[in-house]
Amino acid sequence: MISAYFNNLLTSFSYLVLMKNRIYGLLLLGLSFVNPSSGALAIIAYVSLIIFGKLIGMSREQLVNSMFSYNSLLVGLSMGFMFELSLLSIVFTVIASFFTLLLSFSLQTFFSYYLRVPILNLPFTITATLVYLSSIRYGNLYVINQSHLTVLNVESFPLWLSGLLKATGDILFLPYDLFGIIILLTMLVFSRINFFLMITGYYAGTLFLAILKGSSYVAFTDIYSFNFILIALALGGLFLIPSVKSYCIAFAGVLISVFVLDAMNILWASYGIPAFTFPFAIVVPLMLYVLTISKFRFVTTTYLQSPEQNLEHYVNYYTRFNTVLPQPQLPFSGEWSVYQPFNGEWTHKGIWSYAVDFNIQDRSTGLSFRTDGKRVEDYYCYGKPVVSPVSGRIVEVIDDCEDNPPGVIDDQNNWGNFVIIFSDWGYYAELSHFVRGSIIVRPGEYVVQGQLIGKCGNSGYSPEPHIHLQCQYLAHIGAPTVPFTFSNCILNECCMFGNVLELKKGQTVRSVTRSKAMERKVRFILGDNLSFSVSRNGASPVTMNFTVRMADDGSYYLDDLERAGARLFFSNRDGVFCFYRHEGPAYSPLRFIFLALPRMPLTDENIWWQDDVNYLLANPGGMLFTFLKSFNQRLCKAGGIYKMKDGAVEGKITVSQHRKRISIDTRVEFDPVKGFSRIEVKTPRMQYVLTRK
């Protein structure tokens, strides 16, 4: 429990510069003690937050909310910046921390529920303003003297550079050149994107301010210009996925904050109230609210340690998983052919253009029937089982239309016998032309993907037996169709995971043959422990232990018990086992498990498939290219070809960055009962072997 609170303390310190990196947080924690009052009162404020939270019944999960602890830290740092360390300032800090927690919890509830935006440091800003006003009447609180710290300034620096450094240090309430240099240089190591945003955000704001005021001196000596840095970091690197659009939005936010800052200074000058971070706390939530409502595609949904990791996860996730289009599976088993694709030559026109018809054809003759094809029974697909392409609820069934003789159509009942299913993913799948009386499901029933629902027939507007599938967003028959793609579809022995948008006429496809044995091997449940001996370049192996846990959102992950924060999230559904997100340090062995098996159809067939790989996991030293990737996502990438061969999975990953290519070979062998028995990852410089103990 203590370690959880300490880790959250470090994360909260790193959040001062809008990062989620405990190592960087440890650095900022150490820097805060250069002014002993600030460092000590920040720790006191954080401890007070925990004590008071426990007193009022808050859970540990609530107390380690970075927004709460981050605001309390800011209160403590500001107290140490204003007042000398004394018994009275400690008591005042404790009370202010209590108030900040109450304010944070209340505002967080309102902001998250009604606006869906973070509270940022608004609770601190309100608390600091009240503290500043009330302290004017408190004669026993002594203002701290920090004149001795001015030696940390470099007099020879030009004003434009000194202004940047002081503004950077002011984020930690240490407005001195040396601290600005330390924070900027270490940021350059941890995140090139944040380094870029800090510099460009500051100069965008100050230069605009200089133009408005007609004085560069006034602009570069403005003590509240750190707001420009925070706004650029928030909008360009944290809450939005780094991209050219996000950078433009960030700089627009900086420019807006210029007149907001001056307006507040003028409005409150007569009361002697400083602006603190009000421009940051107002501009960022307003912009995030509008961007969220307008469904801006680059809003961050998964927060990792750095903007680079956020970017890579976003690119990798949305390349691998099509979250926009419906992804039904094929409604049959065995090999079938595409009889009529999207925008087909007969009936797939206009609002019904997104539909696919399937039949069975003889590969040698290309015909869909035997003998002369004058009877429906002559057609290979007639009477074949039709299975549900999705898991969901049956909405409507028609099952009383007669089958047509070949070459005859029923234009009064275009869809013939049909089934409409409301998928768990929020769309409707409609299948048509069943044999009369063959549909064995009824409205209200729940079906799972692959469950038998009827037989392929020739009812409705159908000149020969086939099965028709379309997706739509309305529940009634004849609704407009929408584009969709097939999942777990094998084409030319390659398994497609929803990444084939449109099948072509005449193509032969089949569904993956699922293996119950393989499903059992990767069916990890809560509390499962996996122990491996890990060897690097043939060195003596070390033991690594992982366990299966569940996150707050109900997702499952492997937890590296040796390295805090290292987690590998996975899913196992609809016939596919998949790792989809890695968190924590890249040197965790979980990284190699992810590279070796990002995704796998649950089958014993000797098939192959392609998958995109997280570039930073394949090439941890590629941070610079990831920064450049924020301007052009095609600049660097990683992708693998994986083959199921005799029960093992072999892979070859190609890492591309500009004109350079790196190859990584992988192999996964499975335990006869459950889990992995051996995992190999071979890079140009290293060879890692994980062997199950």
pLDDT tens digits for 232-250?
Answer: 999 999 999 999 999 999 9
Whole-number Å distance between alpha carbons of 149 and 126: 28
Q: Does the pLDDT at position 53 exceed 80?
A: yes
Q: What is the CATH number of domain 155-300?
A: 1.10.3430.10
Q: How far apart are CA 230 and CA 225, in angstroms?
A: 9
Residue 304 clears pLDDT 80, i.e. is over it:
yes
Please give the share of the chain, as a percent, with pLDDT higher than 90: 65
**What's the confidence (pLDDT) of residue 500?**
64
pLDDT band at 271 (very low <50, low <70, confident <90, very high): low
Q: What is the mean pLDDT of residues 508-526?
A: 91
Mean pLDDT over residues 20-42, rounded? 92
Question: Mean pLDDT lowest for which of 30-34, 140-144, 470-474, 583-587?
Answer: 140-144
Q: What does the DSSP 8-state code read for residue 62?
A: H
The pLDDT, as a whole number, for residue 61 is 72
Whether CATH 1.10.240.10 fits 1-145: no
The pLDDT value given to residue 584 = 86
**Cα(423)–Cα(217) distance, integer angstroms:** 63
| Averaged pLDDT, 208-233 | 93
Identify whether the C-beta of residue 390 lies closer than 8 Å to the C-beta of residue 419: no
Average pLDDT of the residues in 53-74: 81
Q: What is the mean pLDDT of residues 499-518?
A: 86
- pLDDT band at 201, cuts 50/70/90? very high
Q: What is the pLDDT of residue 270?
A: 65
Three-state DSSP class for residue 471:
strand
pLDDT band at 600 (very low <50, low <70, confident <90, very high): very high
Which pLDDT value is given to residue 113? 84
Q: Where are the beta strands (DSSP E) in 328-409?
A: 335-340, 355-359, 385-387, 392-398
| DSSP-assigned states of every residue in 346-387 | SS--GGG-SEEEEE---TTT--SBSTT--SGGGBTTTT-EEE
Query: At residue 57, does pLDDT exceed 70?
Result: yes
Q: What is the rounded end-to-end Cα distance, in angstroms, of the chain?
A: 29
Residue 561: other Cβ atoms inside 10 A: 13
CA distances from 478 to 416, 460, 471 (A): 12, 13, 11
Mean pLDDT of all residues in the chain? 90
Distance CA 404, CA 101 (A): 72
CA 466 to chain centre: 40
Lowest mean pLDDT among 213-222, 265-274, 568-577: 265-274
Residue 209's nearest CA partner among 255, 267, 269 is 255
The strand pair at 385-387 and 392-398 is best described as unpaired
The whole-number pLDDT of residue 644 equals 92
Judged against a pLDDT cut of 90, whether residue 381 lies above it is answered with yes
Name the CATH superfamily, with its identifier, for domain 335-484: Glucose Permease (Domain IIA) (2.70.70.10)
pLDDT for 3 beyond 80? no
pLDDT of residue 269: 65
For 482, list phi and psi in degrees, rounded to 5. Answer: -130, 155
pLDDT tens digits along 455-494? 999 999 999 999 999 999 999 999 999 999 998 899 888 9
User: Do 17 and 28 touch, CB atoms closer than 8 A?
Assistant: yes
Task: Encode pLDDT of 419-435 as tens digits.
Answer: 999 999 999 999 999 99
How confident is residue 403, by pLDDT bands cut at 50, 70 and 90? very high
Q: Which residues pair with 397 in a beta bridge?
A: 419
The whole-number pLDDT of residue 272 equals: 64
The pLDDT tens digits for 518-575 are 999 999 999 999 999 999 888 888 999 999 999 988 899 999 988 878 999 999 988 8
Quote the Cα angle for 223-201-153, to 5°: 40
Q: Is the dihedral of CA 288, 292, 295, 297 positive or negative?
A: positive
Question: How far are the Cα atoms of 329, 619, 629, 656 from residue 615, in angstroms, in the given order?
Answer: 29, 6, 11, 9
Model confidence pLDDT, tens digit, residues 85-116: 889 889 999 999 999 999 998 998 888 888 88
- The pLDDT assigned to 318 comes to 87
Q: What is the 3-state secondary structure (H, E, C) of 397-410?
A: EECCCCECCCCCCC
Residue 501 pLDDT more than 70? Answer: no
Asked whether the predicted pLDDT for residue 616 surpasses 70, the reply is yes
Work out the pLDDT band at 8, boundaries 50, 70, 90: confident
Query: pLDDT-based confidence at 1, cuts 50/70/90?
Result: low
Q: Is the pLDDT of residue 590 over 70?
A: yes
